[in-house]
């Protein structure tokens, strides 16, 4: 998959693509990431990329021309996403859907917003990662890329499965335990030491539902009682 990220702050992306799973995926050629600095596409001698809003109001608005130039300079812009607080809430189903595109382009919103004509002319969808406002669209872009990339075949490796992830089947994940058997007075549940796989699966399903009821009861409508949660290795 080819991923293009258009941003005013390209240095923010150095760390995320230089470490861990995303770095390995890039090195293995499973994803290719291009960070496009918006400033060189700005207007005039000073490469202006923003201006005051028509109609008044506080803040600055990203101009349409620089973004259009950056997009049109790409060999293939593919599916275009704008990160913005007004966008539809980004969910696991969106990550799965986006992972099927050959090319994904993310425009990082900034300042007070982006000229509406950018969305009307170039953007396929607007996405938000939560009901809060950040200083810019760079962090949401990182979240979207991370969530999408790990669903691309081969990125997580052969020994890792995503089928038991929180949200994969509309429910949160069950608790995990490892050695030692007892830690500061808390012991690993006996059922996990029993070797009885049917009982272990039943316990995991019960605990997953309990955790969801406690913290995200809104998800329970999508939970299928017949599905089995499976564990996965840590992504890092």
Would the pLDDT of 166 be above 60?
A: no
Checking if the pLDDT of 85 tops 80, the result is yes
Residues of the chain with CATH 3.40.1280.10: 2-149
Residues 6+ apart with CB under 8 A from 112: 53, 57, 58, 59, 60, 61
Q: pTM for the whole thing?
A: 0.82
Instruction: Average the pLDDT over 198-227 and give the result.
Output: 82
User: Higher confidence at residue 163 or residue 139?
Assistant: 139
The C-alpha torsion from 23 through 104 and 77 to 136, rounded to 10°, is -80
Q: What is the pLDDT of residue 19?
A: 84
Residues 2-53: tens digit of each pLDDT? 999 999 999 999 988 888 889 999 999 999 999 999 999 999 999 999 999 9
Q: Enumerate the active-site residues.
A: 85, 112, 150, 165
Mean pLDDT of 140-165: 80
Distance in angstroms (rounded) separating the CA atoms of residues 86 and 204? 37
Residue 158's pLDDT is: 55
* CATH 3.40.1280.10 holds for 2-149: yes
User: Tell me: the pLDDT tens digits for 118-143?
Assistant: 999 999 999 999 999 999 999 999 99
Indicate the CATH number of 160-236 among 3.40.50.11740, 1.10.10.10, 1.10.1270.20, 3.40.50.1000. Answer: 1.10.1270.20
């Amino acid at each position: 998959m080819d991923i293009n990220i258009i941003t005013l702050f390209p240095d923010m992306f150095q760390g995320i693509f230089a470490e861990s799973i995303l770095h390995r995926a890039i090195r293995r050629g499973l994803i290719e990431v291009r960070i496009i600095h918006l400033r060189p596409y700005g207007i005039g001698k000073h490469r202006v990329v923003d201006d005051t809003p028509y109609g008044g109001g506080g803040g600055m608005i990203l101009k349409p021309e620089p973004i259009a130039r950056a997009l049109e300079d790409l060999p293939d812009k593919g599916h275009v996403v704008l990160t913005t607080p007004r966008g539809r809430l980004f969910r696991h189903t969106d990550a799965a859907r986006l992972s099927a595109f050959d090319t994904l382009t993310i425009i990082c919103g900034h300042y007070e917003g982006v000229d509406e004509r950018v969305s009307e002319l170039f953007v396929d969808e607007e996405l938000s990662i939560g009901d809060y406002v950040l200083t810019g669209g760079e962090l949401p872009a990182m979240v979207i890329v991370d969530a999408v990339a790990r669903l691309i075949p081969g990125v997580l490796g052969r020994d890792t499965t995503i089928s038991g992830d929180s949200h994969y089947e509309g429910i949160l994940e069950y608790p995990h335990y490892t050695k030692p058997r007892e830690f500061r007075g808390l012991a690993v549940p006996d059922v996990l030491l029993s070797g009885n796989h049917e009982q272990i699966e039943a316990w995991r399903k019960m605990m997953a539902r309990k955790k969801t009821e406690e913290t995200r009861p809104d998800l329970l409508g999508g939970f299928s009682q017949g599905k089995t949660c499976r564990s996965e290795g840590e992504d890092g």
